[in-house]
């Protein structure tokens, strides 16, 4: 149980922040703090400090206006400090990460009376490599080893010496901390790849620039921090490396996942593997051509010489089989793709024909051996950088060859992971792997890409995150589907024994009207639905601030093309300009007393914050059902159906419920907001799932127009 002293510390800190910031205590916020304190305060450990409790995770749905960030920081931070743990706050978006880092944490430190330090965590690839900067400044970037691979493996060959000089001067003077995101101008990906390294290329403490390294400087600051601000991708990447590599070890960490509804999809992205056959043939061909130079440069080291001697045999085992991949796949292509067009072929239930299965299994072993050999060579080259180690290689030789070997090692590992996932045996009663082929034309050259992905990350998250961490809090405005946590539990591997709670909203939703007007039609009649949308938009008031959400870019474009000239002058289409510019123009029009109508796609249903007069009407053209035509979703649907389930009711309807709540959530952003939500999809009244979707929405006043006279229904 949470001891009285710690409970008093939390209450005192909360009171101080409320008084210092002249805030009004919120009921939902206090409930959230209490639930987090109960969960984290009840965690029991053994004599070695290892967690033995199994109810160490709480899942809290808290709508906009609850004050989630303040609630979880004020309750989790004192407990983490008392238990000798680190607090990692993970977000899904840069906007929230910046808010926590630059607004919430400084305010809390200044107002709460809690003495703590905080830091931002980023992956190594977000920081400049000082050694590479030094090489670019000296004009020696194109050392003879990297030049062997430069044209085929490195995207950009343009001169970036001037950029390197600017970066070096700013970093040396302390004006810049070395991370890509804080540089005032955008740095293009091809340029940045030449300025940074990954964990395989980094020589760590053996680097002559280690003391000045931007990444390790940031790491040193992070090691002293009580609170670390990260993002879901970095947390998952750290877990995939074993945990505790970039971030603190999970067993010593309390995680707070804000925007936690994104976590299952982010996790799936980390276990998705792919390989382009022609791309692989190119780097393998370059490796074969480079063997003479590799032997000349590194052959004096007997272990490296022995390993290099095995490369021809390994390459001979790989290259013909990759060629065979094209021959096997060609009959599956329905037609030849045009330039920049992608055609997919998905294997039903992820099951491969025998020929593809044999091919994958024949490629796993040689790629595994190639990866091991390259890893051993990399290790020897790193040791050669240590003056206390004697490997038979000079430091200069090791420095010259390590970037190339590390680069190829990464490619070999990616290839091995793909073929291992592609040819793996299915586990009985477990969800299958999705497996598919992609046919493309790139600048007139054909490419065939093999891809594999799990259809669920639940087991991985359950084992390596929830099972490994000291404690965790998951929160978001949309964690339930149809009013239940079942869908999130299924996707994120969350156990029934964890704590779940839906917190009350501070908003008065009766200030808004949810309308299904007579004009709403079934989208199955595409022409009638499109016409209904056009008519409705053209009838919007001249001074309205509206957001019209589409589920199809094709339909958005068709509607834009049909709007009359008067209405067109009031519309801002996501198809025409960047999101930031569109929002700025919309706000300016409203400030100038003009009407403005935003036409947006699904991405505008989440993360858009237009409070007060900036948004008074949200129009949802169609229920947000995702079509499970992506290979992962389609494979999962097949598997559910094969087990007697209904994928539409189990996946599509709950997911549509979440998206519908998110879309409606664009309207009420503050306690004084009001307005109207219009749904132009009559299926919500005519299909059996419609009532469940409506019941999951906040308690708006409702105006539902049926076939007869309009009827105003209580929620």
Which whole-number Å values give the CA distances from 636 to 60, 399, 438, 596, 640, in the listed order? Answer: 27, 47, 19, 41, 6
Which of these, 635, 634, 683, 632, lies nearest to 660 by C-alpha position?
A: 683
Measure the CA angle with vertex 661, ends 657 and 663; round to 5°.
115
Residue 216 C-alpha from the chain's centroid: 24
Sheet strand arrangement including 512-516:
571-573, 596-600, 545-549, 617-620, 675-679, 512-516, 701-705, 710-713
* Other Cβ atoms closer than 10 A to 714: 7
3-class DSSP state of 54? coil
Within 13 Å of residue 655, how many CA atoms lie on the same side as its CB?
18
d(CA 453, CA 371): 21
**Element (H or E) spanning 446, and its range?**
strand 445-454
207 is in an annotated binding site: yes
Burial class (CB in 10 A: 0-12, 13-18, 19+), 336: exposed
469 is in an annotated binding site: no
Which ranges of 208-353 does DSSP label H, i.e. alpha helix? 214-223, 232-240, 263-270, 277-298, 302-308, 311-329
Q: Which DSSP string corresponds to 378-411?
A: HHHHHHHT-TT---SS-HHHHHHHHHHHHHHHHH
Residues 6+ apart with CB under 8 A from 685: 516, 520, 704, 706
Cα Rg, the chain, nearest whole Å: 28
d(CA 639, CA 348): 9
d(CA 154, CA 515): 55
664 is in an annotated binding site: no
Positions at the binding site for [4Fe-4S] cluster = 129, 202, 207, 213
Positions at the binding site = 129, 202, 207, 213
């Amino acid at each position: 149980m949470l001891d009285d002293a710690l409970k008093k510390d939390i209450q005192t800190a909360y009171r101080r922040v409320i008084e210092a910031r002249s805030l009004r205590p919120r009921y939902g916020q206090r409930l959230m703090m209490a639930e987090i304190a109960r969960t984290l305060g009840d965690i029991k450990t053994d004599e070695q400090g290892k967690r033995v409790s199994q109810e160490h995770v709480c899942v809290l749905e808290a709508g906009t206006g609850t004050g989630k960030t303040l609630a979880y920081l004020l309750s989790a931070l004192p407990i983490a400090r008392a238990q000798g743990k680190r607090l990692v706050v993970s977000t899904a978006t840069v906007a929230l990460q910046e808010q926590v880092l630059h607004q919430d944490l400084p305010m809390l430190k200044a107002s709460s009376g809690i003495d703590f330090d905080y830091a931002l965590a980023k992956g190594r690839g977000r920081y400049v490599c000082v050694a590479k900067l030094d090489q670019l400044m000296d004009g020696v970037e194109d050392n003879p080893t990297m030049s062997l691979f430069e044209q085929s493996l490195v995207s950009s060959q343009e001169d970036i010496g001037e950029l390197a000089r600017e970066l070096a001067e700013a970093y040396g003077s302390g004006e810049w901390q070395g991370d890509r995101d804080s540089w005032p101008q955008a740095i293009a990906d091809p340029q940045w790849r030449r300025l940074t390294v990954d964990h395989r290329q980094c020589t760590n403490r053996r680097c002559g620039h280690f003391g000045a390294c931007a990444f390790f400087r940031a790491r040193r600051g992070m090691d002293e921090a009580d609170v670390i601000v990260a993002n879901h991708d970095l947390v998952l990447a750290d877990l995939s490396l074993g945990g505790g590599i970039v971030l603190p070890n999970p067993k010593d960490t309390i995680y707070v996942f804000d925007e936690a509804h994104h976590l299952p999809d982010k996790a799936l992205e980390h276990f998705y593997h792919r390989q382009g056959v022609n791309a692989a043939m190119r780097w393998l061909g370059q490796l074969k051509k480079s063997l003479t130079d590799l032997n000349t440069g590194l052959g004096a080291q007997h272990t490296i010489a022995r390993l290099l001697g095995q490369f021809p045999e390994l390459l001979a085992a790989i290259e013909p089989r990759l060629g065979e991949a094209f021959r096997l796949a060609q009959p599956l292509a329905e037609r030849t793709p045009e330039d920049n067009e992608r055609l997919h072929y998905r294997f039903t239930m992820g099951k491969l024909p025998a020929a593809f299965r044999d091919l994958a299994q024949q490629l796993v072993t040689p790629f595994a051996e190639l990866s091991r050999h390259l890893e051993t060579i990399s290790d020897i080259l790193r040791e050669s950088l240590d003056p206390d180690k004697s490997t038979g290689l000079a430091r200069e030789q090791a420095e010259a060859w390590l970037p190339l070997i590390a680069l190829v090692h990464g490619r070999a590992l990616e290839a091995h992971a793909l073929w291992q996932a592609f040819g793996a045996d299915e586990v009985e009663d477990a969800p299958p792997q999705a497996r598919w082929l992609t046919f493309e034309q790139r600048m007139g050259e054909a490419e065939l890409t093999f891809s594999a992905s799990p259809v669920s990350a639940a087991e991985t998250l359950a084992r390596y995150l929830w099972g490994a961490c000291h404690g965790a809090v998951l929160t978001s405005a949309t964690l339930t589907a149809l009013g239940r946590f079942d869908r999130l539990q299924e996707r994120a591997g969350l156990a029934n024994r964890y704590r779940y709670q839906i917190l009350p909203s501070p908003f008065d939703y009766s200030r808004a009207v949810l309308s299904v007007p007579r004009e709403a039609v079934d989208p199955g009649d595409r022409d009638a639905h499109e016409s209904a949308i056009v008519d409705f938009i053209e009838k919007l008031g001249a001074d309205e601030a509206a957001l019209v959400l589409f589920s199809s870019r094709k339909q958005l474009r068709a509607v834009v093309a049909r709007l009359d000239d008067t209405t067109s002058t009031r519309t801002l289409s996501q198809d025409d300009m960047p999101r930031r510019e569109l929002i700025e123009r919309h706000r300016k029009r409203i400030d100038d007393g003009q009407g403005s109508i935003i036409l947006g796609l699904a991405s505008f249903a989440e993360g858009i914050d237009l409070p007060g007069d900036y948004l008074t009407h949200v129009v949802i053209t169609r229920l947000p059902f995702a079509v499970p035509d992506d290979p992962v979703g389609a494979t999962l649907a097949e598997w559910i159906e094969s087990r007697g389930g209904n994928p539409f009711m189990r996946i599509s309807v709950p997911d549509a419920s979440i998206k519908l709540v998110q879309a409606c959530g664009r309207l009420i952003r503050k306690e004084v907001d009001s307005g109207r939500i219009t749904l132009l999809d009559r299926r919500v009244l005519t299909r059996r799932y419609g009532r469940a979707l409506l019941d999951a929405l906040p308690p708006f006043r409702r105006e539902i127009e049926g076939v007869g006279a309009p009827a105003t229904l209580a929620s």
